[in-house]
């Protein structure tokens, strides 16, 4: 999982060349924003109800991040691979958050809805 930070001048306009943000180690070395918790729940962040093993179920993936710097972050790009039963599912969790993320603060961000077979991990 790789978290890339953008400054306050971040623009959501797409460029002609798009870089996979999971491969941006050259420009994302600040390491001051960390993922502290990832969980799947209902859209309102309540726990998922029980499911029947083998049935398809879905939930919203949430990512809690913390800003360990002394400055506000204007925008955050996030990308991760989704593993089910220890195998890369081929699904990517990618999103941008326009912030701000306050200095020393934390936020819980929605990474969208995922679907899986009940009983998988």
Residue 40: pLDDT band (50, 70, 90) is very high
Q: Under 8 Å CB-to-CB from 2, ≥6 apart: which residues?
A: 21, 22, 23, 24, 25, 28, 79, 80
Give the residue with greater pLDDT, 61 vs 1.
61
Tell how far CA 118 is from the center of its chain: 22
Are the CB atoms for 106 and 65 separated by under 8 Å? yes
pLDDT in tens, 13-33: 333 344 455 555 555 556 788
How would residue 78 be classed by pLDDT, with cut points 50, 70 and 90?
confident
The continuous run of DSSP H or E covering 4 comes out as strand 2-6
Backbone angles phi, psi at 104, to 5 degrees: 75, 0
pTM of the model as a whole: 0.69
Burial of 56 (0-12, 13-18, 19+ CB in 10 A): exposed
Among 25-29, 52-56, 73-77, 79-83, top mean pLDDT goes to 52-56
């Amino acid at each position: 999982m790789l978290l890339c930070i953008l400054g306050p001048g971040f623009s959501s306009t797409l460029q002609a060349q798009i870089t996979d943000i999971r491969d941006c180690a050259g420009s994302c070395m600040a390491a001051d924003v960390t993922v502290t918790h990832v969980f799947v729940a209902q859209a309102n962040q309540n726990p998922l109800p029980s499911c029947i093993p083998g049935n398809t179920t879905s939930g919203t993936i949430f990512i809690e991040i913390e800003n360990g710097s002394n400055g506000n972050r204007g925008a955050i790009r996030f990308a991760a691979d989704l593993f089910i039963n220890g195998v890369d599912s081929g699904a990517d969790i990618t999103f941008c958050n326009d912030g701000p993320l306050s200095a020393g603060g934390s936020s819980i961000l929605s990474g969208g809805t995922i679907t899986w077979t009940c009983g998988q991990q």
